Chains A and B, each alone.
Chain A
Amino acid sequence: MNRLRWRAICWFAGVLALVTVGAAGLVAAQQAAEYKVGVVTSLSGELAFGGNVTKRGYDLWAETLNKAGGILIGGKRYRVRLIYADDQSTPATAAVAGERLITQEKVDFILGPYASGTTLALAPITEKYRVPHITGSAESPLIWKGKFKYTFGTIPTVTIIAQASIQTLAQDVSPKPQTIAILGIDDAFSKFAAEAFRTAAQRFGIKVLRFDIVPEGSDYTPAVSAAKALNPDIFAMGSHEKAAIEMIKAAKELKFNPKAFVQHYGMTTPDFRKGLGKDAEYVFGTSVWTPNLNYQAKILFKTPREYAAAFKARFGSDPDYTEAASTAAGIAFQEALRAINAPPPLTQAQKDALIGALERLDLMTFYGPIKFATSGDYYHDNAGLQPIALQYQGGVTVEVGPGKLRLKAPRYPTPPWDKR
């Protein structure tokens, strides 16, 4: 009886040891073979749509890279594995999600959230644990003013980009608009989009009649009514995609007919077009990338058109600049890793070296040049891209300026709602 029990215990211990060794071996093999890439973004909550914009961009990078075999380091190819964590569209959760990815999943580096508010919460965490982090989406100037050593971004700050549409309206249409009313949402991104509109208007001699910031999710009719009463030539809206749709709906309901509707982010997304139908027509917006640009690159995608085609084949819709910038964030990591020749898993010294490599990066990609600023107000932001003004014409967004970037003339003034 005793012997039998001992035998059972031995069997059990033996099997357990085998399983443990096997599993450890498997984990070690997996760890050795691939980079673990943490992704913190909004997969639920108010910003779930935007979070999935970044997800598509990051996924396309990882899938295309893995299909090509992975990143070539020291003659051997290493694949990447994306590990997602949902920030639930709230900053506090973004910080917790980032911490979990770093301490439990032991990720090598992080691709950042969709929204600026969540990015601002994640940046101190990546700073604390000294883990490299690139956001392919966030545009708030506060991120770069925070001078986070471990945080980078591929999209120029909104204070630079959002000016393009106002510049186009000030310089390329006739008669030049004289007045503007600005409405922004109270979050780290939208508020600065609104402020960028104001700065641009002042720079180009357009009088600001009203500047209003409202909380996310509030009813926009009072603010739109207040703007309508002033009869401005331009009505500019700083917001994410959902509010962008709701503000246009409110304007139409109130028969508010400015000569131009200007937005920043939102109008380039498919949901904006689907949600508003023909009411999306004539709306101006901005971008730093469109498939029509003439960049020639060598890494993963050779041209913007090739990227757009691959994107459409994979997701069934056209990419906008945030999706392209998210893919470009992956490319920046990939090239910096090659530059320092660091195979996975990365040691702390290699992670620190990766920061130096990212700072030295001077790349041409399908998304355009990537060169992160290393000082000043745009510290670690890829601030050098040229912003483009867009307008909805015939159900698609077309490049209307500023200046030589124009592919089609801007349609101005916007006809009243009942004459469309």
Chain B
Amino acid sequence: MELFLQTLIDGALIGGLIIVVGVGFSLCFGVMHIVDFAVGEWVMLGAYTAYWLVRYLGQDPMVYLPLIFALFFAAGWLVYPLIYRAVSGRRHHPALMGLVFTFGLSTLAKGGALSAWGYHVRSVSTWLSGQSVSLGVTTLPALRLAGFVFGVLTTVLFMVFLYGTRMGVSIRATAQDRETAALLGVDVRRVGELVYATYAGLTGMTGVLIGALFSIHAAMGAKYVIFAFFVVVLAGMGYVPGVIVAGLILGLIQSFVGVYISGRYTLFALFLLMYLSLLVAPKGILRRGL
């Protein structure tokens, strides 16, 4: 029973991390129809930024979260016109162009980080690192709990923004039908810009949490592309609220398969679920995706 509860909590907390990476990615896909292959590299760059800030300015990395959001928001703002250029105009396969372009961005960021900061595996620690909260018979790692809260909170905030503001309506309209939204006076390009910048800012912040939990190196982002992709497929392409459910399911599967079957089969179980989901429920488990 004790192990069962701990497995449940471990799974939910892993899910929390997947949610944080998935939420921006899902929106980015929903609005701009771009599968951003560079999602892991935004995580990696966020982690490195926190590392260097701590190294040169001291303080706890958590202090820099707002600054990192601002920096990455600005970076996303700057990068977006390039992506926009790659996917618009008279190109035959805009979605494919977006894929190739972001894949290139990802390779560039990975290579650049390796050249600039070297091959060492680095770590940052926060005041939450190594701390934990005991809840009955189970142990909740504080940093993961923070990640979970952060993930759920950002998703909820995002939804409030999407469903409660005029800009949110524009974003949803663009996600539903780009042309019609443009005809009705939505500045589609500006919407895309805002979404991509917000996504970059959020993912950069997530990098700080992930960097503190695991370790920081140039290739650390690769696996998050896969997770983000899983989440988007399972949640329903572009359906943001589904991300919470999908993230939790993915976390719980990893945790339960790892404990009760064997860690060896976790990836197998995840892939199986993705294939089944695409076969049976291509619009996501909540049937609300595109």
Chain B residues near A63 (CB-CB < 8 A): none
Which of B78-86, B92-100, B168-176, B258-266 lies at the interface? Answer: B258-266
Residues of A32-85 whose CB lies within 8 A of B? 43-46, 48-49, 51-52
Q: Is the CB of B122 within 8 A of A44?
A: no
CB distance from B269 to the nearest CB of A (A): 11
B49 within 8 A of A: no
Given contacts A49-B121, A242-B217, A274-B123, contact A254 B139 (CB under 8 A): yes
Q: Is A29's beta carbon under 8 Å from chain B?
A: no
- Known interface pairs A217-B222, A228-B6; 7 further A-B residue pairs with C-beta atoms within 8 A, sorted by A's residue number: A183-B263, A218-B267, A229-B2, A246-B215, A249-B214, A253-B144, A279-B130
A–B complex contacts, Cβ < 8 Å, 15 sampled: A44-B111, A51-B119, A215-B264, A215-B266, A218-B263, A221-B14, A225-B6, A225-B255, A226-B7, A229-B2, A242-B215, A249-B213, A253-B131, A253-B143, A275-B121
The docked-state distance in angstroms from the alpha carbon of A43 to that of B20 is: 31
Please provide the 8 A-B residue pairs with the shortest distance between their CB atoms, ordered closest to farther.
A214-B263, A222-B258, A253-B141, A275-B123, A48-B119, A229-B3, A222-B255, A226-B259
Chain A residue contacts of B256, Cβ below 8 A: 222
Instruction: Please count the residue pairs between chain A and chain B whose beta carbons lie under 8 angstroms apart in the complex.
Output: 125
> How close is B60's CB to chain A, nearest CB, in angstroms?
15
Residues in A neighbouring B2, C-beta threshold 8 A: 229
Residue of A nearest to B267 (CB): A215
Residue B223 interfacial (CB < 8 Å):
yes
- The listed residue (A214, A226, A253) touching B132 by CB distance below 8 A is A253
Q: Within the complex, which residue of A89, A215, A245 is in contact with B215, where a contact is CB–CB below 8 Å?
A: A245
The reply to whether B218 and A44 contact each other, CB–CB distance below 8 Å, is: yes
Q: Which of A213, A242, A417 contacts B264 (CB 8 A)?
A: A213
Distance between Cα atoms of A213 and B125 in the complex (Å): 27
Query: 1/0 contact trace for B194-207 toward A, CB 8 Å?
Result: 00000000000000
Instruction: Assess A229 versus B6: contact at CB under 8 Å? Given A48-B218, A253-B143.
Output: yes
Across the interface, which residues of B come within 8 angstroms of A45, CB to CB? 219
Q: Which residues of A contact B213 (CB under 8 A)?
A: 249
0/1 per residue, B8-22, Cβ < 8 Å to A?
A: 001101100100000
Q: Is A127 an interface residue (CB 8 A)?
A: no
A89 to B222, alpha carbons, bound, how many Å?
13
Contacts of A228 in B (CB 8 A): 6
Majority-rule SS of B interface residues: helix
A221–B255 CB distance below 8 A: yes
CB distance from B240 to the nearest CB of A (A): 23
Chain A nearest Cβ from B262, distance in angstroms: 6
A222–B255 CA distance with the chains assembled, in angstroms:
5
Asked if A221 and B13 make an inter-chain contact with CB atoms under 8 angstroms apart, the answer reads: yes
Contacts of A241 in B (CB 8 A): 121
Judging by beta carbons under 8 Å apart, are A213 and B262 in contact? yes
**Complex formed: what's the CA distance from A183 to B141 in Å?**
20
- Residues in A neighbouring B14, C-beta threshold 8 A: 219, 221-222
Distance in angstroms between the alpha carbons of A218 and B263 in the assembled complex: 9
- Which residue from A214, A217, A279 sits with its C-beta under 8 Å from B258? A214
B110 proximity list for chain A (CB < 8 A)? 44
Contacts of A417 in B (CB 8 A): 130
A318 contacts chain B at the CB level, 8 A cutoff: no
A133 to B121, CA, bound (A): 28
Given A44-B110, A45-B219, A255 and B266 contact (CB-CB distance below 8 Å): no
B 89-126 binary contact with A (CB < 8 Å = 1; else 0): 00000000000000000000011001000011111010
